[in-house]
Structure 1
Amino acid sequence: MPQPVNSLERHARTQLVDTLTSRGIDRRTLLKAASLGLLGWSQSGWLSHWNNLRAEEPSAITSPPPKRHCILLWMTGGPTQTDTFDMKPDHANGGEFKPASTKVPGLVFSEHLPKLAAQADRLAIVRSLSTKEGDHGRGTHLMRTGHPPTGPVQYPSIVSSLGKSLAEVDSEIPRSVSISPYRIFNQAAFGPGFLGPRYAPLTVAAADSPTATPMTDSAYAELTVDDLAAPAGISLERQARRAELWRSTQSRFSKTHPGTAAVAHQTVVERALSLMTSKASRAFDLAEEPSKVRDAYGTGRFGQGCLMARRLIEQGVSMVEVTLGFDQGNQLGWDTHAGNFEAVKRLSAQLDQGWSTLMTELDERGLLESTTILWMGEFGRTPTINPQAGRDHFPAAWSCVLAGGGIKGGQAYGKTSDDGNEVVEGKVDVGDILATFATAAGINPTNENISDQGRPIKIAEGKPINDILS
């Protein structure tokens, strides 16, 4: 006679039946057989059958881990650490801004970052970054690839590397998207390097484009993808026939003209054709958002870029980059050699509004814990204030910030001296930052890609900062 079934056993039996029916076995037949004892699943043996199945095939009974995402907030020109996240109020180098308390006791930010201060428990401030490149072009390449721009290897940007590592193979959505990039300092630092055009980020509204739409006081920044929709009067069927004709022609051309140029061209066009019919294409249409939401992010390129980043993450894009600098008539970005405080106050307002709203909305949608965020530029700025009320290039002791998934927020890692001129505790290099970024996103930074010279190249050469990893 069958023994009584307790609640644990009943749950296990239901789970096992669900698993077996997913393999094509009829559910009604299984339940009938189980109720009659024909399967030999007594109370004493049921859980052992369940445990054996779970041990043999965990993927059949466990939910897959959430898809991971990354966001790089790139600060063109080199932001001043002394007027943002590493204040020196008791020193002459401290400048005009006042320190302000944050949600975390003892942790202070600039007074012009109040919304980020309210979310300081989500931020890990690295105050001990020290690098060796003080030139815009070289510093941009170093921080974005982890390597100085020397030698024959064309290194990929971290945007391309992590996009490749995180994205699903042959997905219809872009692996990575770069919003409003300003690439004039170093074009190669924004590209896929030896990974090839397949892993180049999709660029939206490049700030260095001669056709970039200027901002007005009454409009939202226009962030559009060129030719995302078919021309007027062209049906989907006609568009498909055109695509097939192009593929046929391109195939014949590639056979007689082998080389990277033909491959690059085909990659770009195929990606555009795929995106036109992809569900992710709607993410680029910010007009779908209510004015209240768009206003919360800020109307400029950075704020609207952060909103687009949220929409892209929702659609499953793995890596998104948003640039702040050279916006709304600001010709110098964070490169504040003169008039530092006026410029940084304006930039901080955009940063504070866009970044804080991005984290809030990601959290509300259950995406913040699976999205790792890195804020940085190409270097910091001198603690000493120059005669033009500005701060100059300074890679010796500066700051970056990590947040979101995989990051233990509410802390400052490392320390600079009282005058801000040197790192006195916890010194780290660019490789350590990129390794931490990758690790927090669930990627082993020692994973290698093979360069076109046949050399294995790690995603990041440094060591993760374990103290800020959750």
Structure 2
Amino acid sequence: MLRFLGSARRFCDGHTRRDFLQIGAFGSGLTLADVMRHRAASAAGAKKQASTAQKSAIMIYLPGGPSHMDMYDLKPDAPAEFRGEFKPIKTNVAGVEICEHFPLQAKMWDKLACVRSVVSVDEHSDSLVMTGYPERVNRTADHPSFGSVLSKLRSSSGGAVPPFVSLRGMSRGTEPGYLGIAHRPFTPSGQGNANLRLANGVSADRLGDRKNLLDKFDDTRREIDATGTMTGMDAYNERAIEMVTAGVVRDALDLRKEDPKVVDRYKGVEAFLTAWRLIEAGVGCVTLSVGGWDTHGQNFQTLKRQLPVVDKGIANLIQDLHDRGMQDDVVTVMWGEFGRTPKVNASAGRDHWSPVMSALIAGGGLKMGQAVGASTAKGERPKDNPLSVPRVLSTIYGVLGIDPSTTFANGAGRPMYVLDEREPVKELVG
């Protein structure tokens, strides 16, 4: 088993968040066949859901805390030390204005929506926006991430496509918590593609010979297994081999198989292209991250570089989903862990600000072309309609046909709700 450490990102709290990946397994020494086996075994205890169309989600995380005041909730009438350097521009929806560095989104705002009154917590972690619970709670409660919940509930569907893919490696916010390691995301970063290829010198026939040999060993294990856990092992091995040999995910990750003109449009924001290719291939949840947003100093210089990147990625992604008729079947959400201080500091930066932040939403059959809620005149707190992170997540779960009141047993056997706050954002679903 090989473990590869990915890129590290250090925030202002001094802690380093590092992505990691284990080659040849999804973690803890499990083979791909073991992962399949664990998924189906754990799915047996999951609460059954009403079957709806298999919708998908793209979760875009902006690590470090993006400035709500300089993106979707500008305050042009506030004093200079609050409003900052950027000016608002009109969108194609009357009454909605966004940052001047978002011209592409402005032209397609009828396909987008923003929640501008989200209340967060002061933690440098994606735990809250990916699980619905802050990191300080998850250190002991170990709640699962959004993608892991989807993996748990869809694991029995089988096939050659993993239900959950993280294009940004592993973090507490992508982990399965008490759902078990079988529901970790597939992480194709770095050399992770080794999970999708036959080893050098191994043909499909030779792989079949190896499988037959494994089956013979498993016959012996079945004879001494009194628990019945070996039952159906052949089927799981078939599914594991199918994921390797079918190449569906491998092809989705290989941008050389995409139209060069499309690839050129996504130059510099290739992760957005990879995300919708994975969704088109059948992945249920894809998460990715963009940039670093912990702008305690030189906030505006940093955002002048990063906002056009986000604008390009979002505009191309959402337009392509519409062009392929996938807009109602895929919900996209983009946010960070909190907002930034309304008042600019002495270093031309903005510090952490949890009382209010913004979240961009698109697709999923939700009501687009609007800005839900707003902050006060100086961007200090919600002016009205304060909305918690779990309520936004509950809305996204609803799009995918997942009831957030579903319960799973944690490590102690206690039933735990997916979310404790489960009311959706009515302006989006109405």
TM-score, normalised to structure 2, is: 0.78
Equivalent residue, structure 2, for 1:385:
344
Equivalent residue, structure 2, for 1:370:
329
Equivalent residue, structure 1, for 2:140:
152
Gaps of 5+ in 2: 1-50, 226-235
Report how far residue 275 of structure 1 moved. Answer: 2.0
Distance 2:260 2:165 in 1: 24
Distance 2:383 2:88 in 1: 21
Structure 2 residue matching 1:106: 3-state secondary structure: coil
Higher strand share: 2
Q: Does 1:96 align with 2:103?
A: no
Distance 1:196 1:380 in 2: 32
Equivalent residue, structure 2, for 1:350:
309
Equivalent residue, structure 2, for 1:199:
183
Residue-by-residue CA offset, 1:4-39 (whole Å, 9 max, x unaligned):
xxxxxxxxxxxxxxxxxxxxxxxxxxxxxxxxxxxx
Question: How do residues 168-317 of structure 1 correspond to structure 2 at under 5 angstroms?
Answer: 169-181=157-169, 183=170, 187-205=171-189, 225-245=193-213, 273-281=241-249, 282-299=251-268, 303-317=269-283
Gaps of 5+ in 1: 1-63, 206-211, 213-222, 258-267, 326-332
Structure 1 residue matching 2:57: 3-state secondary structure: strand
Report how far residue 180 of structure 1 moved. Answer: 2.5
Distance 2:420 2:263 in 1: 39
Q: Which amino acid aligns with 2:424?
A: P
Structure 2 residue matching 1:162: 3-state secondary structure: helix
Report how far residue 254 of structure 1 moved. Answer: 11
Distance 1:168 1:401 in 2: 31
Q: Relative to 1, partners in 2 of residues 1:310 and 1:168: Cα closer, same or farther, differing over 3 Å?
A: farther
Equivalent residue, structure 1, for 2:106:
117
8 Å Cα contact 1:167-1:318 kept in structure 2: no
Residue-by-residue CA offset, 1:86-117 (whole Å, 9 max, x unaligned):
11112121111111111111101111111111
8 Å Cα contact 2:196-2:245 kept in structure 1: no
Q: Relative to 1, partners in 2 of residues 1:238 and 1:103: Cα closer, same or farther, differing over 3 Å?
A: same
Q: Which amino acid aligns with 1:469?
A: V
Q: In structure 2, which of residues 106, 128, 138 is the aligned counterpart of residue 142 of structure 1? A: 128
Q: Relative to 1, partners in 2 of residues 1:245 and 1:308: Cα closer, same or farther, differing over 3 Å?
A: farther
8 Å Cα contact 2:398-2:404 kept in structure 1: yes
Q: Which amino acid aligns with 2:74?
A: M
Report how far residue 369 of structure 1 moved. Answer: 0.9
8 Å Cα contact 1:180-1:305 kept in structure 2: no
Q: Which amino acid aligns with 1:125?
A: C
Quick check: which has more Rg, 1 or 2? Answer: 1
Residue-by-residue CA offset, 1:356-411 (whole Å, 9 max, x unaligned):
11111111111111111111111111111111111111111111121101310111
Report how far residue 125 of structure 1 moved. Answer: 0.9
Distance 1:441 1:253 in 2: 39
Q: Does 1:108 align with 2:67?
A: no
Distance 2:237 2:351 in 1: 42
Quick one: higher RCO (CA 8 Å, sep 6+), 1 or 2?
A: 2
Q: Does 1:84 align with 2:79?
A: no
Structure 1 residue matching 2:325: 3-state secondary structure: coil
8 Å Cα contact 1:101-1:109 kept in structure 2: yes
Report how far residue 253 of structure 1 moved. Answer: 8.8
Distance 2:106 2:91 in 1: 4
Distance 1:440 1:169 in 2: 19
Residue-by-residue CA offset, 1:194-244 (whole Å, 9 max, x unaligned):
111221111121xxxxxx5xxxxxxxxxx9623422234321111232345
8 Å Cα contact 2:104-2:315 kept in structure 1: yes
Q: Does 1:130 align with 2:115?
A: no
Distance 1:249 1:153 in 2: 39
Q: Relative to 1, partners in 2 of residues 1:273 and 1:340: Cα closer, same or farther, differing over 3 Å?
A: farther
Q: Which amino acid aligns with 1:466?
A: K
Equivalent residue, structure 2, for 1:220:
none
Report how far residue 69 of structure 1 moved. Answer: 0.8
Equivalent residue, structure 2, for 1:429:
388
Structure 1 residue matching 2:122: 3-state secondary structure: coil
Q: Which amino acid aligns with 2:203?
A: S
| Percentage of matched positions with identical amino acids | 34
Decide which moves more: 272-281 or 364-373.
Answer: 272-281
Structure 2 residue matching 1:399: 3-state secondary structure: strand
Distance 1:154 1:77 in 2: 22
8 Å Cα contact 1:167-1:317 kept in structure 2: no
Q: Relative to 1, partners in 2 of residues 1:237 and 1:431: Cα closer, same or farther, differing over 3 Å?
A: same
Q: Relative to 1, partners in 2 of residues 1:358 and 1:253: Cα closer, same or farther, differing over 3 Å?
A: farther
Distance 2:223 2:409 in 1: 25
Q: Which amino acid aligns with 2:101?
A: H
Decide which moves more: 79-88 or 236-245.
Answer: 236-245
Q: Relative to 1, partners in 2 of residues 1:227 and 1:68: Cα closer, same or farther, differing over 3 Å?
A: closer
Distance 2:383 2:201 in 1: 65
Q: Relative to 1, partners in 2 of residues 1:252 and 1:429: Cα closer, same or farther, differing over 3 Å?
A: farther
8 Å Cα contact 1:130-1:427 kept in structure 2: yes
Residue-by-residue CA offset, 1:324-352 (whole Å, 9 max, x unaligned):
12xxxxxxx11111111121122212211
Report how far residue 167 of structure 1 moved. Answer: 5.9
